[in-house]
Structure 1
Amino acid sequence: MPHCPVPHESADPRPALFDWEFAADPYPAYSWLRRHDPVHWTRLPSGVEAWLVTRYADARQALADQRLSKNPQRHSEAAHGRGKVGIPGERSANLMTHLLNIDPPDHTRLRRLVSKAFTPRTVARFEPRVQELTDRLIDGFAARGEADLIHELAFPLPIYAICDLLGVPAQDQDDFREWAGMMIRHGGGTRGGVGRSVKKMRGYLAELIHRKRREPGEDLISALIRASDHGEHLTENEAAAMAFILLFAGFETTVNLIGNGTLALLRNPGQRRLFQGAVDQRDPDRLALAVEELLRYDGPVELATWRFATEELTLGGRTVAPGDPVLVVLASADRDPERFDRPDTLDLERRENPHLGYGHGIHYCLGAPLARLEGRTALGSLFGRLPDLELAVPDGELRWRGGLIMRGLRALPVRFAPEPARPDPKPARARES
């Protein structure tokens, strides 16, 4: 293990990382690392060795440091192993040229092309559609008295919303749901169903781009094509990769925000009552404040995506060598007592909340306004319509998905008093066009 100083001795036993117990509750281990080894050299389950950055100040510095590249070609594989460092299947599918894997000036160019689709003002115009989707998804299980909130609400809502933004026709959106479901269930490899799903998605996006060039609409893919035709250089590979990453990264963060947020409220009855009050009073400011605290407390992204040192640098007192992979642990930074008062307490009335849940710097999550809207709408509607919602299984039986970057539940079974069935059984994805 080169250039890595040994952390100082501690009476506390070093916690295990990346096992199933850690996946269920990583926060005690992160607390240990912040106190004893805040920039920690480790071998990941994939075989890659990397630095874990766990303190808020160091995390914020690393997220904005231009000496840490997003380009995987900067990775010194000879020194640090050849494990996978990307999104499932993307290497074999030629989808690497996207915002999470490039640096300026290409990053600046591509981000400028899509940024207008995700401004708060633009996203606000999409709010009625998000509410419509949410209502119809809840209609699908409200009369039954039980549901799996991950698969029946948290998962389909952002899939259909992002498909709408991209311009995927309604009749094709269930295919996207199937492909995305395969990746979220079996992320981590390129073989079998994951590889086939990514290949199908890549082929579909290429065909859709050709179709939109012939018959453009008022959607994001058409806007990318128009920008390219008016002098902005955008290759077809870049357009397909952009659509892919907006779909993949955009939907899973919202899945986890809704799932983790619901569970946090169910586990904290006092805070749930505060949230219920904001819902009942239709107070958008309090709901927005609550969503920010849920993002801080148990957010959807556990680790920021990969960074690679382009030169030797010092981070948290450690020497990071050229080619070293660096992973910023957002979940740990957002529980740092040096930055947040009572960090392990859920406080929906927390006013000062500069959390890193959606990152920091030039790679700050482009889709954050949409994710916030979807999370606020889904949680508000869920607790508004089903106020007696409760877990349908013991808390200890809940299982968290494996994986490195995202933090989310495999399933979230709940029960509640059945709601009288509503008319209009129109499927959630349907929209005449």
Structure 2
Amino acid sequence: MEQYDAIVLGAGGAGLMCAATAGQRGLRVLVIEHNDAAGRKILISGGGRCNFTNIGAAPANYLSANPHFAKSALGRYTPVDFIALVEAYGIAWHEKTLGQLFCDGSARQIVDMLLEECAKGAVAIALGSAVRDVDHANGQFTVRSDTGTASAPALVIATGGPSIPKLGATGFAYDLARKFGLKVVEPRPALVPLTLPGSDALFRDLSGVSTEVVARVGQAAFREAALFTHRGLSGPAILQISSYWRHGEPVAIDLLPGAAPGWLAAAKRDRPKASLAAVLSAQLPARLAEALTERIAIDGAIGGATDKALGEAERRLAGWAFQPNGTEGFAKAEVTVGGISTDGLSSRTMEARRVPGLYAIGEAVDVTGWLGGYNFQWAWSSGWAAGQALGEREAA
């Protein structure tokens, strides 16, 4: 049986970051990954260019039962820190909208960088090795996997959540956490398209049409593009709001964000002979304008409509209520809301309070970022925090 200072389960972003940080602090680290390649989720992210962080990443951009939990890790390892690492490897990058940073080249560069960082710390990585059993006794964690048995005084859960199962994602992290007495906040798909019932078939027929909107659920609101699909709604605004949506709740869509109050009455004065569809087509895709007109009871020229009717049409367009009947599930979800409860973890070290030596990081934990590089930043920050803590633990 091989002896290590720490065993990290999962070779995704958080796991590799943690292993590299601990390894470079002198610890003997083993990473066990059931996939045959490291960083599979990194490789497909950002259309293959990896949206590796967001320059505006802050605790307010994350969902958690404890909204304060992410503050410590995010404050100690920031986007600036990760950008410095990327630049140290000569990886060219660019900023897209809303602070999103992407590689100019390939996401493979980020994976190679993390693997090189692990190599600098002499980290052992066992790929294609499913974990069969984990025991804890006498201050040691013993892990039996397809490649053998290893033991260490510290174990890091970095196996993520169940989103994108085709990449090998499972709920293993939750089963292991429960085994050690940690609570799990109900996991559900996040950053995921919403599905619409048959009553909204008119909008499902608009598959492929996209427009900028403000999507709202409760107090959460996002202004980005929405995309109509053959199953319902997608696009950045919808993916963002899906993290906040619960079954039974409506989603309000402002189809003309920024439109001034009374704009339809003004259009009536300027273009009294125009139809509502023609007026809407000046600001929205024609197919969407036609579909909305079918649902708004204003026939013929808008000059024949009362200002009251036009005002009501404005209100509907500013808060069009959709009643999703579900999501496209974990298969299409980019991340998972929920996970290992932060109540049982230290926000500084990611260590379980009641199980010394057990750590949980990344998507496995109940911390979920917005779309746009925030979840990778949490992976880097939480992985770094745990890696540092492992080094401190060994030194003590």
Where on the TM-score scale, by shorter chain, does this alignment land: which range? under 0.3
The TM-score normalised by the length of structure 2 is 0.22
Decide which structure has greater helix share: 1
Which protein is bigger by CA-based radius of gyration? 2
More strand per residue:
2
Q: TM-score, normalised by structure 1?
A: 0.21
